[in-house]
Amino acid sequence: MNTEIIPWLLAGDPSIRWQVQRDLLDRSPRTYEAERRKIAKEGWGARLLALQDADGRWGGGLYGPKWISTTYTMLTLRLLGLPQNNPQAKRACQIFLDQGFYTDGGINFFSYSLKYSETCITSMILALLAYFRFPDERIHEVASYVVGQQMPDGGWNCDSYKGATHSSFHTTLSALEGLYEYQCTYPEQGRRISAVRECGHEFLLAHRLYKSHRTGQVFDAKMTAMPFPPRWRYDFIRALDYFQACDAQRDERMCDAIELLQRKQKADGRWLMNSGMSGRKYFDLEEAGKPSRWNTLRAMRVLEWWNK
């Protein structure tokens, strides 16, 4: 570990500091949870919570406008590590289910025009419901919906209803993240969900995390970038961070992605922030093209997991 970088990381937002303490410094839960509780009171987390509308939503909508809606604000708060007992987040979870739970068991915010739940959105909402430990039995139906949408190649694709036969990187990772959060919250589901997730892992590994399984070429150059927050988009470090979070078995098919991550490290030991997606946003967490605490934290914990 590059110990010279640690003080720089610890000078950042509480959402950075608590994860550095947990993932890089191996501090006790008592220590890092005390830091984590500051997210709701100061920094990025407090700023986002203060923007919640009186009706419990953000940006006036559940999924749009991007990227200030309830869904995308909550996804960012989850990545920051907002404590699971936060009442504002739980209020939003209630709204997700009350306004989005659909007859097929998934989440459909567009029932006026769509007659089925959208797999990407359902997966993202599953991750939020599970992460924030929202006590509603409907979460099991949401998880079952995601499981039922798995395709023969092991992944997921929100365009399967339109005839897509090959899984999507984007949908697959969202499904895996949602199912992992669900499994963490409901460990009794472990055997069933683990088997499903393993098939999803194989889909990503067959593509070496960001390449075409047919040609071996980079599937989409955007997947080699390191934006934060990623929102719905897939990228290679988001995938690597997922694998380290669930302490997956290291696989040689991850080597290309690990080497790409190492090549992106700058001489001073840090990683830069890539520009995000176009659209509305409340504020930038970090400046594009500048050294990024988020990417440096994520890269360091991925490499520590890989090398251990």
Same domain, 76 and 179: yes
Same domain, 198 and 70: yes
Closest CA to 63 of 37, 100, 33: 100
Same domain, 202 and 56: yes
Q: Residue 277 has what pLDDT?
A: 74
Same domain, 133 and 51: yes
Same domain, 48 and 36: no
Closest CA to 184 of 232, 237, 226, 242: 242
Domain limit, last residue, from 9, 26, 41: 41
Same domain, 264 and 162: no
What range does the domain containing 196 cover? 44-206
**Mean pLDDT in order along the chain per 10 residues (308 residues):** 87 98 98 98 98 98 97 98 98 98 98 96 98 98 98 97 96 98 97 97 98 95 96 97 97 98 98 88 95 98 97
Same domain, 184 and 266: no
| DSSP states of 18-62 | HHHHHHTS---HHHHHHHHGGGGTSHHHHHHHHT--TTS-BTTBS
Same domain, 115 and 77: yes
**Into how many domains does the chain fold?**
3
Grouping H, G, I as helix, E, B as strand and the rest as coil, residue 164 is: coil
DSSP β-bridge partners for residue 107 = 101
Nearest-angstrom CA–CA distance, 238 and 32: 23
Q: Residue 278 has what pLDDT?
A: 82
Same domain, 270 and 296: yes
Domain limit, last residue, from 206, 232, 258: 206
With a CB cutoff of 8 Å and minimum separation 6, the contacts of 69 are: 57, 58, 59, 60, 61, 62, 63
Q: Residue 227 has what pLDDT?
A: 95
- Give the Cα-Cα-Cα angle 245, 193, 199 (nearest 5 degrees): 80
Domain limit, last residue, from 206, 237, 258: 206
CA atoms within 13 A on the CB side of 195: 5
CB 272 within 8 A of CB 290: yes
Same domain, 281 and 236: yes
Same domain, 150 and 242: no
Q: Residue 1 has what pLDDT?
A: 61
What is the value of pTM for the model shown?
A: 0.97
Nearest-angstrom CA–CA distance, 298 and 300: 6
Q: Residue 208 has what pLDDT?
A: 98
Same domain, 225 and 280: yes
